[in-house]
């Protein structure tokens, strides 16, 4: 089922500072910040040769990463996103295996305008797993 | 400086259970467990199309992931490893930029028998960064 690693998401309290560190200290190519108000984050893409890291900063009220940053004020690795060919099929097979899909259990349109779902970290050894249909 | 994402490391309390979940629930290809006593871990490679996830379980006394699992008993994302062309050059340039290389500041031979170094998570927004020369 799992295809490529689409991205690794890192929540940060200060996107401008993190973006500068990845660009200047680590010598990576970073995008301009993109505000995604409907997803409650501003994102900078760190473009690596084989995948990307997404630096996320909360945007607006009720950001989905606000609670994580309260627990981890310096920031930290937030989730891994894997690509799948058929997200509806993935959701059914995961639920049949006893894994919990967050929210109402149905895929949503994600930040890349593709169908995504998130799996409960308690079912995956403390790692929040996102699946994205590509 | 940063090349490919070599791997994303996930520390888990029960490697056999985690390996089974990645294989059977997520449908990924997983390796047999490999004990690396000189690095204090047993590892299972989850082989994705563009990179790999490494599931790590502590092995022996003083495992480098023991403290992390005490703080995160269910497990969690532990570090990201990026490839670099020249680790000695990377170490110098990072130290010149004020980043702290863990240990004595010099590259070591890592679990893949290649030179590696780890950077202090406080300098990278809560993320432990490994660099590996390839």
Contact A80, A130 (CB under 8 A): yes
Topology (CATH) of B5-133: 2,3-Dihydroxybiphenyl 1,2-Dioxygenase; domain 1 (3.10.180)
Contact A34, A19 (CB under 8 A): no
Task: Catalogue the active-site residues of A.
Answer: 130
Chain B residues bordering chain A (beta-carbon distance below 8 Å): 1-5, 8, 10, 12-14, 17-18, 21, 24-28, 46, 48-51, 53, 55, 72, 74-77, 80, 82, 93-94, 97-99, 121-127, 129
Taking every pair of Cα atoms in chain B, the longest distance, rounded to a whole number of angstroms, is 46
How much is the mean pLDDT over chain B?
A: 96
Distance CA A65, CA A11 (A): 7
Contacts of A53 in chain B (CB under 8 A): 5, 80
Q: How far is A95 from chain B (nearest CA, A)?
A: 9
Contact B5 A3 (CB under 8 A): no
H or E element in which residue B35 lies: strand B34-36
- CB-nearest to B99 from A4, A25, A28 is A25
Q: How far is B8 from chain A (nearest CA, A)?
A: 8
Angle at B13 between CA B11 and CA B18, to 5 degrees: 80
Render pLDDT for B12-35 as a digit per residue (tens, 0 to 9).
Answer: 999 999 999 999 999 999 999 999
Contact B74 A125 (CB under 8 A): yes
Instruction: Please tell me the predicted confidence (pLDDT) of residue A96.
Output: 95
What is the value of ipTM here, to two decimals? 0.96
Contact A6, B48 (CB under 8 A): no
- Exposed, middle or buried: residue A17 (CB in 10 Å: 0-12, 13-18, 19+)? middle
The structural domains of chain A, with segments of one domain joined by +, span 5-133
φ/ψ region of A45 (left if φ > 0, alpha if ψ in -120 to 50, else beta) reads beta
Q: Which residues contact A96 (CB under 8 A, 6 or more apart)?
A: none
- CB-nearest to B125 from A28, A74, A99 is A74
Instruction: Please tell me the predicted confidence (pLDDT) of residue B49.
Output: 97
Q: Which residues contact A30 (CB under 8 A, 6 or more apart)?
A: A19, A22, A23, A44, A45, A46, A47, A55
From first to last of its 134 residues, what are the pLDDT tens digits of chain A?
Answer: 999 999 999 999 999 999 999 999 999 999 999 999 999 999 999 999 999 999 999 999 999 999 999 999 999 999 999 999 999 999 999 999 999 999 998 999 998 899 999 999 999 999 999 999 99
Render pLDDT for A31-43 as a digit per residue (tens, 0 to 9).
Answer: 999 999 999 999 9
Render pLDDT for A108-117 as a digit per residue (tens, 0 to 9).
Answer: 999 889 999 9
* Residue indicated by tokens 């089922």: A1
């Amino acid at each position: 089922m799992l295809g490529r690693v689409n991205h690794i998401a890192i929540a940060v309290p200060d996107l401008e500072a993190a973006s500068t560190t990845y660009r200047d200290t680590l010598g990576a190519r970073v995008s301009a910040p993109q505000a995604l108000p409907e997803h409650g984050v501003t994102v900078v893409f760190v473009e690596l040769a084989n995948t990307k890291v997404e630096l996320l900063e909360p945007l607006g009220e009720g950001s989905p990463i606000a609670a994580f940053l309260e627990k981890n004020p310096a920031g930290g690795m937030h989730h891994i996103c894997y690509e799948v060919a058929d997200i509806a099929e993935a959701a059914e097979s995961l639920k049949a295996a006893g894994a919990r899909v967050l929210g109402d259990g149905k895929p949503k349109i994600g930040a890349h305008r593709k169908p995504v779902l998130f799996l409960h970290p308690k079912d995956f050894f403390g790692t929040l797993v996102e699946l994205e249909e590509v």
